[in-house]
């Protein structure tokens, strides 16, 4: 079976929610993928910031296989070894001391939203998020998402969500009213175009939460698990949230999400208030344990910061070479973007397509930047290869 056969069969049976590259991926290793036609790709998408240790990392594969032979599922009516170990690792290495396990980013955020409401008490339910944010596709998380295009056709949106303009703490404070219970934000907006929130702005948001007795929820679904060069992005920002959500890279490809918080807040979730059949499933949690252990090994992050600086320098070189298409570089760690000019934006989709044809995978995030989210294990040679192909494509685009 070739790519074209899989495309034809898939298009005949799937709901039309995705625009897919015309390739059926069959194998992955490290930063490389291979499709059904045998073509090799250099992967700077990593399953959308999921396969942060690279495809089929041996420690994760081993943990998943051995757990799958022992025990795959029992529900949360029982304790399991991997779920407990993962929660211990997450709490030992974050501000949090309580964890609720889910299966995805949206579900982790749903848990955070429900916890913020029940903890804040009767009449306090409204959550302020930011314009340009992305928090998931369930009805509540899409309502929290500050991008109207994701609401269209699904109205009415659930009530209790308002969006403040990005970057303006004074405007944000005007939204606070007696029904407000929390402020929800990503430390760096990934989906809408790799837009970092300045540490000073995040500190102002923290102060507003303290002043008005609101919970601060960080959606670290994309920024967490090493993506920005530390285990969690908040560590670099001088701001500690009250609740943090994780998913994407937590299982390096196995579906798992988590909501982390302090015990004084978590205590508002009592027996029966929230649940998930699969959340923290033993196989997914075993993957999470292997991811945590690999990332916590000595030297893991030092290496990433170095490679990140190198990558940024190379991207800045590209931006300088094509100033009519690129206006700069932003992001941190291995969550980086080449910001496009108006003319560059017109060619964004075409640039991604041409790179795909040359065997390099990136994406056009928020329809305004070229986003680079390779496995954290990417090498300098991989970066050089990507930069070479990118320059060639930008040259062709003109």
What is the binding site for ligand PLP (CB under 6 A)? 104-106, 109, 134-136, 186, 190-191, 219, 221-222, 247-248
Q: Kindly state the smallest distance separating residue 257's Cβ from ligand PLP, in Å.
A: 6
CB of 104 to ligand PLP, least distance (A): 3
Identify the burial level of 111 via C-beta atoms within 10 angstroms of its C-beta, where 0-12 means exposed, 13-18 middle and 19 or more buried. Answer: buried
Torsion angles phi and psi, residue 27, rounded to 5: -155, 150
| Dihedral sign from CA coordinates of 345, 346, 347, 350 | positive
Give the residue with the Cβ less far from ligand PLP, 143 or 387.
143
Q: Using alpha carbons, select from 282, 290, 289, 249 the residue that is nearest to residue 67.
A: 282
Other C-beta atoms closer than 10 Å to the C-beta of 281 total 28
Residue 24 vs 247, nearer CB to ligand PLP: 247
Which single residue brings its beta carbon nearest to ligand PLP? 105
For the chain, strand residue ranges (E) read 25-29, 32-35, 40-43, 98-102, 126-130, 161-164, 180-185, 188-189, 195-196, 215-219, 243-246, 257-261, 326-332, 335-340, 360-361, 363-365, 369-372
Q: Are 231 and 260 in contact (CB under 8 A)?
A: no
- Tell me how far, at minimum, the Cβ of 105 lies from ligand PLP, in Å: 2
Q: Which residue lies nearer to ligand PLP by CB, 258 or 383?
A: 258
Least CB distance from residue 135 to ligand PLP, whole Å? 5
Q: Whose Cβ is closer to ligand PLP: residue 43's or residue 107's?
A: 107
Specify the residue for token string 């601060």: 216
Other C-beta atoms closer than 10 Å to the C-beta of 62 total 12
The smaller minimum CB distance to ligand PLP, of residues 192 and 204, is found at: 192
What is the rounded CA–CA span in Å between residue 31 and residue 51? 9
Residue 191 C-beta: closest distance to ligand PLP, Å: 5
Nearer to ligand PLP, 119 or 135 (CB): 135
> What is the closest distance, in whole angstroms, from the C-beta atom of residue 50 to ligand PLP in the complex?
9
Q: How far apart are CA 91 and CA 262, in angstroms?
A: 9
* Among candidate residues 115, 120, 118, 114, the one with its CA nearest the CA of residue 138: 114
**Shortest spacing between CB 317 and ligand PLP, in angstroms:** 28
- Using CA atoms, how far residue 5 sits from 12, 23, 24, in Å, is 11, 10, 9
Token pair for residue 69?
Answer: 């032979």
Q: Which is nearer to ligand PLP, 187 or 282 (CB)?
A: 187
Rounded-to-integer distance, Cα 27 and Cα 43, Å:
12
Nearest approach in angstroms of CB 70 to ligand PLP is: 26
Residue 144 · residue 130 · CB < 8 Å: no
Shortest reach from residue 296's CB to ligand PLP, in Å: 23
Q: Which is nearer to ligand PLP, 219 or 389 (CB)?
A: 219
- C-beta of 388: minimal distance to ligand PLP in Å? 29
Of 256 and 393, the one with the shorter C-beta distance to ligand PLP is 256
Q: Which residues, 6 or more positions from 245, have their beta carbon under 8 angstroms from its beta carbon?
A: 105, 108, 109, 111, 112, 217, 218, 219, 220, 221, 257, 258, 259, 260
* Phi, psi (deg, nearest 5) at residue 103: -115, -5
Q: Which helix (H) or strand (E) holds 141?
A: helix 139-144
Cβ closest to ligand PLP, residue 347 vs residue 371? 371
């Amino acid at each position: 079976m070739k790519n074209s056969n899989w495309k034809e069969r898939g298009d005949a049976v799937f709901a039309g929610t995705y625009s897919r590259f015309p390739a059926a991926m069959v194998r992955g290793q490290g930063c490389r993928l291979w499709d059904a036609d045998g073509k090799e790709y250099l992967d700077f998408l990593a399953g959308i910031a999921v396969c942060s240790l690279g495809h089929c990392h041996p420690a994760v594969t081993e943990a998943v296989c051995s757990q799958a032979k022992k025990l795959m599922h029992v529900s949360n009516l029982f304790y399991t070894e991997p779920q407990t170990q993962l929660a211990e690792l997450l709490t030992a290495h974050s501000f949090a001391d309580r964890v609720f396990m889910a299966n995805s980013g949206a579900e982790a955020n749903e848990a955070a939203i429900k916890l913020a409401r029940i903890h804040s008490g009767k009449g306090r339910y409204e959550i302020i998020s930011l314009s340009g944010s992305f928090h998931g596709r369930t009805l509540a998380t899409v309502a929290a998402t500050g991008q109207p295009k994701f609401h269209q056709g699904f109205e009415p949106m659930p009530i209790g969500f308002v969006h403040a303009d990005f970057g303006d703490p004074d405007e944000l404070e005007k939204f606070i009213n007696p029904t407000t219970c929390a402020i929800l934000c990503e430390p760096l907006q990934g989906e809408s175009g790799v837009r970092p929130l300045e540490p000073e702005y995040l500190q102002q948001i923290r102060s507003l939460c303290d002043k008005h007795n609101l919970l601060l929820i960080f959606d670290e679904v994309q920024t967490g698990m090493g993506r920005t060069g530390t285990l969690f992005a908040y560590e670099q920002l001088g701001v500690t949230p009250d609740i943090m959500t994780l998913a994407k890279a937590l299982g390096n490809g196995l579906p798992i999400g988590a909501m982390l918080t302090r015990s004084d807040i978590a205590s508002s979730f009592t027996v029966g208030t929230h649940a998930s059949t699969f959340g923290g499933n033993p196989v997914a949690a075993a993957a999470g344990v292997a991811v945590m252990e690999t990332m916590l090994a000595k030297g893991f992050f030092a290496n990433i910061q170095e490679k990140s600086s190198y990558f940024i320098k190379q991207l800045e070189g590209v931006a300088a070479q094509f100033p009519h298409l690129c206006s700069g570089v932003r992001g941190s760690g291995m969550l980086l973007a080449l910001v496009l000019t108006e003319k560059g934006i017109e060619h964004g989709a075409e640039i991604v397509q041409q790179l795909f044809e040359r065997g390099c995978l990136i994406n056009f995030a928020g329809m305004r930047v070229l986003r680079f989210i390779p496995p954290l294990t990417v090498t300098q040679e991989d970066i050089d290869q990507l930069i070479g192909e990118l320059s060639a494509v930008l040259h062709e685009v003109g």
